[in-house]
Amino acid sequence: MKPLPRLGVFGGGQLGRMLAMAALPLEVACSFYETQADAPAAVLGPTFGDSSDSDAALAAFLASADVFTYEFENIDIALVERIAASKPVYPGIASLRQAQHRLQEKSLFAELAIPTPAWRAVHALSDLEAAARDLGLPLVVKTTTLGYDGKGQYVVRTPADISDCWQTLGAQASLIAESFVSFRRELSIIAVRGKDGETVIYPLSENQHQQGILALSVVPAPALDDAVRRQAEDYIRRLLEHLQHVGALTLELFETADGLLANEMAPRVHNSGHWSIEGADCSQFENHVRAVLGLPLGSTACPRPTAMLNVLGQHPKREQVLAVPGAHLHLYGKSARPGRKLGHITVSADTLAQLQVAIARLRACLPG
Ligand code: AMP
């Protein structure tokens, strides 16, 4: 049997670790472009990345694998382009570029007729004042690059907040101002597209955040209107086709009384898809690995209602979590720090009511 190509992953965090765990049974070896020797993925393959000699590190990383992917979108595109000059990188640079910049991302959504909150680009204090006049308050103001988990955001509630917001965020970065959406709930949809265009789509997840960080996902999103599901699938298909995307793509959505609004996309596996490790026939990680290596994709069916709870800031007692029937604990090998994603728990049940009971028991296991 022909050996499968080796996979090089930009980044060695928990997403890289779970990609490598999914790659292992397929006899796909992973290597990582990652400067921290104790990164979560480092136990699963060699890491390359040396801030003092990045050329040599990149050359060694390039030699270590045949196909490349990434676990986060805030990578220096020039590095990815250097790899892409000689070996395949999936998802392609078009997907990466759009997802790195909130203005480009929102413009792409508009081009593809995917509705979003009303927004304005902000390059000066006067733009912010104009956005407040045009869109009304509150406004959610975000840095256009490098924001994640609610970082780099400011909610302008009163006219008096405008100058403070500008001083806090605008001095360092270009901004986007968005209408504050009174959503019913937050949803996300993850799809995986193969090199031949084959596309599989996971059921939508309902996501709850704490201080901007994902805390809980429930799948399939309870009481979801079938027309809303089809709409979300249509939106993500438009993105996949337009970008000729290969691999996993996540679209975060707000469900409102008037339908869905797109918040942002991630050209990668996503925290709101961790439920799929035990909850789906084939996990987002395995399907991403399959897609970038040109293998057939697996079923995204979710046979039983499933939840994912993030372990944030402090470790729970293992015994307590594992005593909850059906619970699976995934820890990432990280040290505790307030708000840090240290791991997650998945649990499935026969009914949504039983799942809610399990979620309540698991919440009680989580410190803080
Ligand atoms: P983001 O970094 O864009 O994913 O935003 C982080 C979180 O902030 C989202 O998951 C929402 O809970 C909230 N948020 C972002 N944009 C808006 C908005 N326009 N209106 C209301 N809430 C928002």
How many Cβ atoms sit within 10 Å of the Cβ of residue 10?
24
Q: Which of 263, 264, 265 to mutate to test the pocket of ligand 1 (most atoms within 8 A of CB)?
A: 263
The finding on whether 181 has its CB within 6 A of some atom of ligand 1 is yes
CA nearest neighbour of 291 among 189, 201, 184 = 201
- Cα of 147 to ligand 1 centre, how many Å? 11
* Nearest atom in ligand 1 to 181's CA: 20
Ligand 1 atom with minimal separation from the 178 CA: 19
Mutation pick for ligand 1 pocket among 103, 119, 137, 140 (CB with most ligand atoms within 8 Å): 140
- Going by alpha carbons, the residue nearest to atom 19 of ligand 1 is 180
Interval 215-236 mean pLDDT: 98
Q: How far is the CA of 253 from the centre of ligand 1 (A)?
A: 9
Distance in Å, CA 143 to ligand 1 centroid: 12
> Tell me, what's the pLDDT at 149?
66
Residue 259 Cβ inside 6 Å of ligand 1? The answer reads: no
- Domains of the chain, each with CATH number or no CATH: 7-89 (3.40.50.20), 118-179 (3.30.1490.20), 185-365 (3.30.470.20)
How far is ligand 1, taken at its centre, from the CA of residue 144, in Å? 13
Residue 148's pLDDT band, with cuts at 50, 70 and 90, is low
pLDDT-above-90 percentage for the chain: 92
30 CA to middle of ligand 1, Å? 33
Tens digits of residue pLDDT in 309-338: 999 999 999 999 999 999 999 999 999 999
Alpha-carbon torsion angle 286, 288, 289, 293, nearest 10:
140
- Report which protein residue has its CA nearest ligand 1's atom 9: 212
**CA–centroid distance, residue 72 to ligand 1 (Å):** 19
263 CA closest ligand 1 atom index: 3
**Residue 324: predicted pLDDT:** 97
Report CA(150)–ligand 1 centroid distance (Å). 7
Nearest CA owner, ligand 1 atom 2: 150
**Nearest CA-CA partner of 246 in 9, 51, 69:** 69
What pLDDT is attached to residue 110?
Answer: 98
Mean pLDDT across 225-241: 98
Whether residue 236 is predicted with pLDDT greater than 90 in this model: the reply is yes
The encoded tokens of residue 273 equal 């898809």
| Residue 74 or residue 249, greater confidence | 249
> Looking at residue 150, what is its pLDDT?
66
Residue type, 121: A
Residue 172 has pLDDT above 70, yes or no: no
Cα distances (angstroms) measured from residue 29 to each of 9, 20, 107, 246, 313: 11, 7, 38, 20, 31
161 Cβ inside 6 Å of ligand 1: no
Which of 21-35, 41-55, 183-197, 337-351 bottoms out in mean pLDDT, i.e. has the lowest? 41-55
Burial class of residue 367 in the structure, from the number of CB atoms within 10 Å of its CB (0-12 exposed, 13-18 middle, 19+ buried): exposed
Question: Beta 341-348 vs 306-312: how paired, if at all?
Answer: antiparallel
Q: Is the pLDDT of residue 95 over 70?
A: yes
Average pLDDT in the 184-190 region? Answer: 98
**DSSP secondary structure, 278-328, as one string:** HHSSS-HHHHHHHHHTTPPPPP----S-EEEEEEESSPPPHHHHHTSTT-E
Q: Mean pLDDT throughout 259-284?
A: 98
pLDDT for res 151: 74
Fill in the DSSP letter of residue 35: S
Mean pLDDT, rounded, of the chain: 96
**Mean pLDDT along residues 74-94:** 95
Closest atom of ligand 1 to CA, residue 180: 20
pTM for this entry: 0.97
